[in-house]
Amino acid sequence: MDIVPQLIANSIIAGATYALITLGFNLIYGTTKFFNLAHGVVAAAGAYAVFALTKVFSIPINIIFACAIGIVFAGFLGWALDRMIFMPLRKRKASNMVLMVASLGAFTAIQASIALFFTSQFQTLETDIMGSRAYEIFGAVITQTQVIIIVCGLVVITLLGLIAKYTLFGKAVSAIRDDEEVARIVGINTDRIIGKVFFIGSAIAGLTGILIGFDTGIEPTMGMNLLLKGTIAAIIGGVGSLYGGFLGAFVLGFAENFGIWKISGEWKDAIAFVVLIVFLLLRPQGIVKK
Amino acid sequence: MSSIDDSLAVRIIKGHMNTTGRAIIWVVVLGIVAWAGYALLGSQPASPTGDTETATSTPISAEPIKIGFMGPLSGDAAVYGEPFRNMVDLAINEINAAGGINGAQLTPIYEDAKCNGKDGANAAQKLINADGVKVIIGGFCSSESLAAIPIAEAGQVVLFSPGSSSPDLTGKSRFYSRDYPSDATQGKVLADAAYNIKKWKNVVMIQEQSDYPLGIYNAFSSSFEPLGGKKVAKEEFPTTTTDFRSMLTKLKAMKPDALFINTQTPANAERILKQLKDLKWMPRIIVNDALSGDPKTVETNKTVLEGALAAEFGVDLNNAKFQSMTMAYKTKYGVDVPYQSYAQTEYDAVYIIRDALLAVGNDGAKITDWLKTVKDWDGASGKVTIGADGDRVGGHVLKIIKAGKTELYAMPTAAPATSTKQ
């Protein structure tokens, strides 16, 4: 079976993409306990920031630098959403359902603004510098961009793991995760910590959007599909769990790409949802229990 | 959760709100909603019916005549829908400036059908039932037209499409006709070229799940397989797909002579082309006219697409009407008219409808029968003849992509053989 190496490569690429979006999503969910639907559109916003810098205004800057600006922009967007929408709602003791609906509103508004400014046409971030090189491993072809996606996935989870374990910030986050009120009572500035969590989680989303922009291209509506896969991966792996989401993303990537080996590709999304339902029925807490 | 239940129960008990009291409130609320709904919907059709009555009973009237439009104005397919709307607007302005229909101005009403059946049906419902139009120019996508037909039939409204090409639409309804040819000929021309000219025996296809690409698949495979070609293996994908790698990996493993890229819009074709490059697979390619008719995509992907076959409903650049149409478009909108093979039929569709209105008045049933008598009508797209089945007579010609341009295919043996293809 000479297509197996390529299928494995495709699964890892898809898994790494899902992992990146899930990591940011899970970080925010674990701390605030609500499904932040705006997470998907933050990824798109990061990608479009790079698109604006490099393609629309064609500012002659280093592409890596443009990406860094895109990532920081996405981070600030997430932070601003928390400051302007989610924090006031939390102060008013709004339920998680209200927060989720508010995030859906933010999602729709930002997506529509992107479409207004950049049209709803399909674009690609690809330039001559990146993505042109490709490597062959055991008969599987993988491009430079895809290698970067996989490396980014590994780097991000390692960093998050280290931060959670060894820094004061990480400990504060896990305190809020356990009980926000108690955390506040013992003197943790929860608003500031949650703001930082939004910044980091959204910056990771921005990074994901940018990498996808280089790999398969961008569209204002790219966020929804991305978010959907991210949440499926999160649920499979264990919602709110750092390593669980990472594992779930790769389970999803392999299930999707090997699932269509013998049947037609039109079933790819259906397979993702079947995996989701199986997990919801048999192991609702996910692979890794929080 | 339990606290919410508690408080609700407590409130109900404390307020002594018994069930009859609540029922009365609900009845009152329902009454208000029903009244408001009646006031809104009941008053709306009053003015359109008034309009159409005067228009039908007295065709020579200064009352404006409403013309419906449905096409994709948002989403991936908006790349077609926006020029479509511009073109209709241009033609209607020209007609109005020249005095309209015996003095009556044409008023276009544009609806976004989003290139799918659901929104196509919604757009048709709105145009027919709320606006009371008797003629709709559209849909553009085949899915829009297929969904709108039953609604148009019920309302006795003409659907006249300048872009839908699915073979499933042929003879579908008395109220549907088109001045764009069916894809039956597109599939046939491509199958013929692949098997007889290129000697490709094994063609595989990646196809978007939508009516237009499906029509091309059916037409292609039903011509290719009887010629002696291998059964066309295909991978289908839903429109929202962005990752085609594993589908392409499977198709590559079949070692085909050529890959047929059959998408609804250039956006998905562009993603597929990029991922082909990523997979280092450089197959011989066949494309449909959604891709070959998009100069930007063809230009940006010229290395992958070099030598790709396509079949298009051609344009005649020497046609004086076509030239004046492209000039008028450029003057009005400041850009060259995109998707010229559709532009010409869009422009002609408005003028054919004008002639129909002049001949039989604003009456759906009369216009739709009149359209089927159109013969050698001189327009920007050449001589238009519409058959009894509602399809335009004539069809697609074989093209090839060379150096980022779609051009006529020159037969390898005899040099000027291209004209015989038509």
pLDDT tens sequence across B309-367? 998 887 888 899 999 999 999 999 999 998 888 999 999 999 999 999 999 999 999 99
What's the pLDDT at A107? 95
Task: Report the candidate in B115, B107, B111 with the shortest Cα–Cα distance to residue B125.
Answer: B111
Q: What share of chain B is helix, strand, coil (3-state, %, to 5)?
A: 50, 15, 35
**Weakest-pLDDT range from A103-117, A120-134, B42-56, B184-198:** B42-56
Q: A171 pLDDT band (50/70/90 cuts)?
A: very high
Q: Which of A148, A155, A124, A145 is nearest to A23 (CA)?
A: A155
Task: Say if residue A232's pLDDT is above 50.
Answer: yes
What one-character DSSP code corresponds to residue B392?
Answer: B
Per-residue H/E/C for B53-120 = HHHHHCCCCCCCEEEEEEECCCCCCHHHHHHHHHHHHHHHHHHHHCCCECCECEEEEEEECCCCHHHH
Pairwise CA distance, residues B261 & B252, whole Å = 13
Band of residue B407 on the pLDDT scale cut at 50, 70, 90: confident
pTM: 0.75
Work out the average pLDDT over A159-178.
Answer: 92
Residue A240: the pLDDT is: 81
Edge-to-edge strands of the sheet including B285-287? Answer: B233-237, B203-208, B258-262, B285-287, B309-312, B397-402, B405-408
- The three-state secondary structure class of B167 is helix
What is the predicted pLDDT for the residue at B235?
93
Dmax over Cα atoms in chain B, in whole Å?
A: 95
Question: Nearest CA to B162 among B97, B69, B79?
Answer: B69
pLDDT of residue A127: 65
What does the block give as tokens for B403?
């150096």
Encoded amino acid at B184, one letter: A
pLDDT value at residue B405: 85
Using DSSP's 3-state secondary structure scheme, residue A81 falls into helix
Residue B221: predicted pLDDT: 93
Residue A46: which residues within 8 A CB-CB, separation 6 or more?
A70, A71, A73, A74, A77, A203, A205, A206, A207, A208, A209, A210
Residue B136 has a CB neighbour count (10 Å cut-off) of 31
Share of chain B above pLDDT 90, in %: 55
Interface test with B, best of A111, A264, A271, A273 (most B CBs within 10 A): A264
3-state secondary structure of A137: strand
β-bridge mates for residue A101, sequence order: none
Please tell me which residue, B27 or A170, carries the higher pLDDT value: A170
Q: How far apart are the first and last CA of chain B?
A: 72
Q: Is B353 exposed, middle or buried (0-12, 13-18, 19+ CB in 10 A)?
A: buried
| Confidence band for A128, pLDDT divided at 50, 70 and 90 | low
Sign of the torsion formed by the C-alpha atoms of A180, A182, A184 and A187: negative
**Angstrom distance (rounded) from CA A242 to CA A248:** 10
Q: What is the mean pLDDT of residues A56-68?
A: 84
**What's the gap in Å between the CA of B291 and the closest CA on chain A?**
14
Of B241, B252, B270, the CB nearest to A122: B270
Q: Reduced to 3 states, what is the DSSP secondary structure of residue B417?
A: coil
Strands of B328-412, DSSP E: 377-379, 382-384, 397-402, 405-408
Poorest-pLDDT segment among A57-71, A92-106, B190-204, B399-413: B399-413
Mean pLDDT of chain B: 84
CB contact under 8 A, B242 and A124: no
**Chain B interface includes A137 (CB < 8 A):** no
Q: List, in sequence order, every residue forming a beta bridge with B205; answer none if it has no partner.
A: B234, B260
- The burial class, CB within 10 Å (0-12 / 13-18 / 19+), for B5 is exposed
- Determine contact, residues B73/B79, Cβ cutoff 8 Å: no
- Work out the pLDDT band at A239, boundaries 50, 70, 90: confident
Cα angle A252, B269, A2; round to 5: 50
Yes or no, beta carbons of A6 and B279 under 8 Å apart: yes
Which tens digit of pLDDT belongs to each residue from B149-188?
A: 999 999 999 999 999 988 889 988 999 999 999 988 889 8
Nearest CA distance, A48 vs chain B (angstrom): 17
Interface A–B counts its CB contacts (< 8 A) at 89
Q: Domain boundaries in chain A?
A: 19-231
Residues A260, B388: Cα–Cα separation, whole Å: 44
Please tell me which residue of chain A has the smallest CA distance to B273.
A216
Which residues of B have a CB under 8 Å from any CB of A? 74-76, 78-79, 209, 234-238, 240-247, 249-250, 252-253, 266-267, 270-271, 274-275, 278-280
Q: What's the pLDDT score for residue B37?
A: 61
Q: Locate B107 and state its tokens.
A: 């008023």
C-alpha dihedral over A49, A51, A52, A55, to 10 degrees?
A: 160
Find the CB nearest A216 among B234, B243, B266.
B243
Smallest CA-to-CA distance from A16 within A229, A183, A199 is with A229
Q: Which residue of B has its CA nearest to A257?
A: B246
From chain B, the residues in CB contact with A13 under 8 A are 245
What whole-number percentage of chain A has pLDDT above 90? Answer: 61
What H or E segment, with its residue span, contains residue B220?
helix B211-227
B389: enclosing H helix or E strand = none
Min CA distance, A227 vs chain B (Å)? 13
**pLDDT tens profile A90-113:** 999 889 899 999 999 999 999 999
The pLDDT confidence band at residue B280, using thresholds 50, 70 and 90, is: confident
Establish whether the linkage from the previous residue to B139 is cis, with ω within 30° of 0: yes
Task: Mean pLDDT check: name the lowest of A131-140, A149-158, B223-232, B298-307.
Answer: A131-140
B268-291 mean pLDDT: 90
* Distance (Å) from the alpha carbon of B400 to chain A's nearest alpha carbon: 25
Nearest CB partner across the interface for B280, out of A134, A146, A261: A134
Mean pLDDT of A71-89: 95
Check CB contact of A32 with chain B, cutoff 8 Å.
no
Please check the confidence at residue B190 and state whether its pLDDT lies above 50.
yes
Copy the structure tokens of residue A175.
């305190």
For position B14, what pLDDT does the model report?
A: 46
Q: Report the chain A residue with the minimal C-alpha distance to residue B274.
A: A216
- Residue A117 class from Cβ within 10 Å (0-12 exposed, 13-18 middle, 19+ buried)? exposed
* Per-residue pLDDT at A264: 84
Contact (CB<8Å) A141/B279: yes
User: Among B299, B296, B248, B249, which Cα is nearest to B272's?
Assistant: B248
Distance CA A2, CA A7 (A): 9
Cα A157–A158–A162 angle (5° rounding)? 115
